[in-house]
A and B are shown apart, each in its own frame.
Chain A
Amino acid sequence: MSFIRDTWIIFRRSMVLSLRQPLWVVIGLLQPILYLTLFGPLLQTIAATSGFQGDAWQVFVPGLLVQLGIFGGLFVGFGIIAEWRSGVIDRQLVSPAARTAIIAGRTLRDVVVITVQAIVLVGAAFFLGLRVPVGALLIGLVLVALLGAAFSFISNAIGMATKSEDALAPMVNTLALPILLLSGILLPMTLAPAWLQIVANFNPFKHIVEALRAVFLGQFDSPIVWIGLLLAVVLVVIGAWVGSRVLAAQTK
C-alpha cells in the first residue's frame, strides 16, 4: 500500500534528521530524569499523607509518562513550520506521495522518540525504587505512544495551518496549561478540593493519568483502565483526522 510505503519513507528521512541533532533528544531525556530526581524526593514525604494510594513512584511515574507523551508531541509543530519554510513540504506535496503520509511519517518519528524517552524514564525510575509488573510498564509505554501520536498530529496540524511560530506558540501554551493543572499529572487530584475535582473530571487527561496509576497499582481489571486507553485512542483518531484534513487543505 502506497500510504504505508510513503509514511515509511517520510519517517526514515525525519528520523535520520532528528538523530543528527542529538541535543534535542538528550534534552528530552534529561527533563523527565530531572523531574524524577529533583521532584520525586518531595513526593516521598507527601506520600505518607492521606489521599495517596501506593508509594510515591507508583503515583508519580504515571504522571510523568503522560506528561512526556503530551509535551513530547505538543512542540513538534515548530519543526514542520521550519520544514515548510525551507520548501520541503511543498516538494513532498508535489510528489505523488499519499497526502496523509506526509504528516503521519513525521508523527511516527515523534512517537519513536517519545517512546525511547519513556523507556529511559522508566529505567531511571526503576533505579530509584519503582516496582511494578512488566505488564503495567507495557501499558504505560503504549499510552505514552498514543498520547505522543495524538499531540504530534495536532501540533503538526496547527503548524501547517498557521505556518507561523508566533501563532503556534500561544496556542500550544494555552492547550498545555489547563491540561497540566487539571489532570493531576504532578499530584493526584484526590488531594484537590471538591470543586476542583469536578472541573478536572471534564479533562480527559485526568482519566488517562488515573488509568495509568491504577495499572501501576496492579488494578488491571478496573474499568478506568479501559476508559483511559479508549480516550487515548480517540485522541489519536481525532489528531490523525485533523492532521490529514489540514494536509489535504494545503493544496486547496
Chain B
Amino acid sequence: MKPQSHPFQPIRRLPVELIAVPHNDNEAQVTNTIIEAKGLKRSFKAKGAKGKTIDAVRGIDLSVREGEIVGFLGPNGAGKTTTLKMLCTLLAPTDGSATVVGADLRRDPVEVRRRIGYVSQAGSTSPEAKVGEEIVSHARLYGIDKQVAIQRGKELLTALDLAEIWDRTCGSLSGGQRRRLDIVMGLIHQPRLVFLDEPSTGLDPQSRANLWNHIRKLRDELGTTVFLTTHYMDEADSLSDRILIIDHGTIVAEGTPAELKKRVSGDTITLTLRTEADAVNSGGIATRLNGADAPVIEANVVRFHVPDGATALPVLLGDLTKAGIDAIGVDVNRPTLDDVFLTLTGRSLRD
C-alpha cells in the first residue's frame, strides 16, 4: 500500500482501497465524515488514592468532516490530550466507540494507525538523531521505501520552510523548526487526517503565526483534515473552521468561531475602580443599563456584557459621575472565545 500521489498536488487523490466511506464525486467528498465518535470515555486509576478514578473524558460525541480544520479548545487538564490519544489508538477508551478514516477504532487499530498522522505534545525526534534519518526510519515503519521517503521528506521539509536541515541533528534546531519537523514526520505517509496536539506551545509569536500559515496550507493545498488541540483562544480562533470547547472531560460548546461568539450577549465592559466598595456600587449601576447581564465583580474590577458597548458607555460613565464614582479604567471588548468560555463555564480560560 504505497500512495503514489505527490505531496504537493493541490487536491489529493487517494487510493480507492483506502476509502471505506462512499466517495464517488467531489460533492460526496466535501461532506464525508472522517471522525465519528460516540460516547468516548476514559478514566484513569488515581495514583495514591485507592479505588479512586479520574474521569478524564466523560463520554464525548464528536464528528469531523473531511477537509475541516477543527480546533479542540480547553484549559489545562480538560481532557484534550486524552481524547486525542484515544482517537489515535494510543489509549484504549474505557467506553464508547469511534470510526476514524473509515476504520473502527477498537476492532482495527492498526488500520487507523496507517491512515492517520499524529503530532504529539512531546515532540517526535531524538536530539542526537539527524533529521533525514528520523524521517526515513519513520517512513519505513509505514512500509514506504527509502528512496520515496527521502524524496517525500525533502519535499515536505521544503514546503514547511525547512529545506536545508536534512543533515542537521534534531537537537540543533530551534523550537519552531523542531515543531515543523514533527509535523513533517506526521505527514510522511500522506495521511488524510492529522492530529496536532498543542502545535504552537512554547513558540514565540512570530513562529506561531508562521506555523499557523503552514497548518492552513496543509488543508488548503493538500486537503488534509486537521484536528488540533490548543488552550490558546487566538490559535483556535484564527485557525479553526470549527471549534469544540471541552471542559472537565465534556464538550460544552461547538460551532464556528463566529457562531460561538454570538452566544455571548454582546460586548464586554470592564471597569476598574479605586475601591472594592466602588466596584460593588458600580455593579448596581451597571445592572440598570439597557440589556446588561449580571456583573461579575472581582476585587475592584467589574465585568459585564451589554448588547452594544459603544452606546452603553456614555450612559454608564454619566451614571457613575452622578453617583460620585470615579472609574480609573474602562475597557470595551468585542467578544472573544474566552468570553464564550466564561459564559459557558463561569471560569476564564486563562486561569
Contacts and interface: CB of A to CB of B under 8 A. Distances in A.
Q: Are A and B bound to each other?
A: yes
Interface of A: 6, 9-10, 12-13, 16-17, 20-21, 82-83, 85-88, 90-97, 250-252
Contact of A9 (B88, B90, B137): B137
21 contacts: A6-B141, A12-B137, A13-B134, A13-B137, A17-B129, A20-B128, A21-B128, A86-B124, A86-B127, A87-B123, A87-B124, A87-B125, A90-B118, A91-B120, A91-B138, A91-B185, A94-B88, A95-B141, A96-B143, A250-B90, A251-B90
A155 to B, nearest CB: 18
Contact of A97 (B109, B120, B141): B141
Contacts of A9: 137, 140-141
A94 B123 CA distance: 13
Interface in B128-185: 128-129, 133-134, 137-138, 140-143, 182, 185
Interface residues of B, number: 31
A151 B134 CA distance: 27
A93 B114 contact: no
Given A96-B114, A251-B91, A90 B137 contact: no
A80 B286 CA distance: 59
Given A6-B141, A9-B137, A94 B126 contact: no
A251 B128 CA distance: 26
A90 B129 contact: no
A13 B129 contact: yes
B310 interface: no
Contacts of A252: 91-92
Nearest to A88: B126
Contacts of B121: 87
B47 to A, nearest CB: 12
B120 A96 contact: no
B300 interface: no
Contact of B122 (A85, A96, A251): A85
Contacts of B134: 13
Give the secondary structure class of B's interface: loop
B21 interface: no
A92 B141 contact: yes
B120 A90 contact: yes
Contact of B125 (A86, A95, A97): A86
A178 B238 CA distance: 60
Contact of A94 (B118, B128, B137, B140): B118
Contacts of B182: 87
Interface string B12-47: 000000000000000000000000000000000000
B261 to A, nearest CB: 34
A96 B141 contact: yes
A94 B113 contact: yes
Given A17-B129, A83-B126, A85-B122, A251 B142 contact: no
A16 B129 CA distance: 8
Contact of A88 (B88, B118, B124): B124
B110 interface: yes
A219 B18 CA distance: 61
Contacts of A92: 138, 141
B92 A86 contact: no
Interface in B70-91: 88-91
A9 B123 CA distance: 20
A87 B125 CA distance: 7
Contacts of A17: 126, 128-129
Given A13-B133, A94-B89, A96-B143, 16 more contacts: A6-B141, A9-B141, A17-B126, A82-B126, A83-B126, A85-B122, A86-B122, A86-B124, A87-B123, A88-B126, A94-B120, A96-B114, A250-B90, A251-B91, A251-B92, A252-B92
A86 B141 contact: no
Interface string B87-126: 0111110000000000000000110011010101111111
Nearest to B90: A251
A95 B90 contact: no
B322 to A, nearest CB: 61
A86 B123 contact: yes
B113 A95 contact: yes
Contacts of A12: 137
Interface in B253-297: none
B120 A87 contact: yes
A202 B166 CA distance: 53
A251 B121 CA distance: 16
Given A9-B141, A91-B120, A251 B89 contact: yes
A16, A82, A83, A86: most-surrounded residue (chain B CB, <10 A): A86
A9 B133 CA distance: 11
B138 A95 contact: yes
A95 B185 CA distance: 11
Contacts of B122: 85-87, 90
Closest 7 CB pairs of A and B: A87-B122, A87-B123, A91-B124, A95-B141, A13-B137, A94-B118, A97-B141
A250 B120 CA distance: 15
Contacts of A88: 124-126
